[in-house]
Amino acid sequence: MLNRDKRSYSIQAVENALTILEAFGEIDGEVRITRLSEMLEIDKSYVFRLLATFEERGYIEKAERTGRYRLGLAAYVTGQKILSRMGLLTKAKPVMERLARACDEAVYLAVPRNREVLMLDMVDTTQVVGTVSFVGNAYPLTKTVAGKVLLAFGTDLTGRAEEDTPSSLQDELVAIRKEGAGLDSECIGAGTACLAVPLFNAQGKVPGSLCVVGPEFRFSNEHCENHLLPALKAAGEIISTRLGSHFGFSKVPGREALPADLTFCGSWQGGRVGSRF
């Protein structure tokens, strides 16, 4: 059988339809056909026909008052079905919920996507002052700690040779690997801090990172070191165990093993790892 480039099998009409659907995922609110056509550089009449098809299937809705279009319920339902069947999210979500309650900050699950890290899902905080949702946002791997954690523990750096990686980034990745975690501020949003640890599967690979996210003013060094970080690391170990891992960041060569009695903050202070899960 002849080898053919995958591109030769692509269907332009399907590509255009997916381009439109993906664009709605990036648009905050509603959009007119003319604007959508200009953004995507696709003929307006062609966009209209595709939107009519999506609207018939419930993936796109048209607001009667404004005549603008937005994502429909079918797109949401389909997305939720896909998320519910993802092994990583299924195993991580209960732990994320408990961690969010314990630390009273938003907890995110981030996964690699090509050269980016995608904020796949989150459990929000009950605090009055929080942050906007970053679910669905993608960032360059090298620009946020959620991605740098993936790089530090095994995710290939966008296909580039290690010697091509800036020395400052290499130093940062070495530090993250040594500490088993990373912290940054304002990398995913103004005034926002993100603390992240890696997750490991049965093969010792890193399918994602677990993050605690909140207003920067609540992430003092003392609070991170004494409360948020121990809780986050312990939760990361539990999720990794659920994924079949016997690896974990505490067993990375060159790192000292973490204490066996890492505790969770808040109402779990003093409880042993896993006792609340």
Residue for token digits 């990794």?
Answer: 240
DSSP letter at 269 equals T
Q: In the chain, helix, strand, coil percent, each to 5? A: 45, 15, 35
pLDDT digits (tens, 9 = 90+) for 197-239: 999 988 888 999 999 999 999 998 899 988 999 999 999 999 9
9-23, 77-91, 183-197: segment of lowest average pLDDT:
77-91
pTM for the whole thing?
A: 0.65
Q: For residue 150, what pLDDT is reported? A: 93
Over residues 37-58, mean pLDDT: 90
Which is more confident, 216 or 275?
Answer: 216
60-69, 86-95, 124-133, 156-165: segment of lowest average pLDDT:
156-165
Over residues 259-276, mean pLDDT: 28
Residue 83 pLDDT greater than 90, yes or no:
no
DSSP letter at 253 equals T
C-alpha pair distances (Å), 2 with each of 7, 8, 11: 14, 12, 19
Residue 275 pLDDT greater than 70, yes or no:
no
The answer to whether 208 and 246 have CB atoms below 8 angstroms apart is no
pLDDT digits (tens, 9 = 90+) for 56-73: 999 999 988 888 999 888
Residue 81 pLDDT greater than 60, yes or no:
yes
The answer to whether 140 and 116 have CB atoms below 8 angstroms apart is yes
The answer to whether 153 and 254 have CB atoms below 8 angstroms apart is no
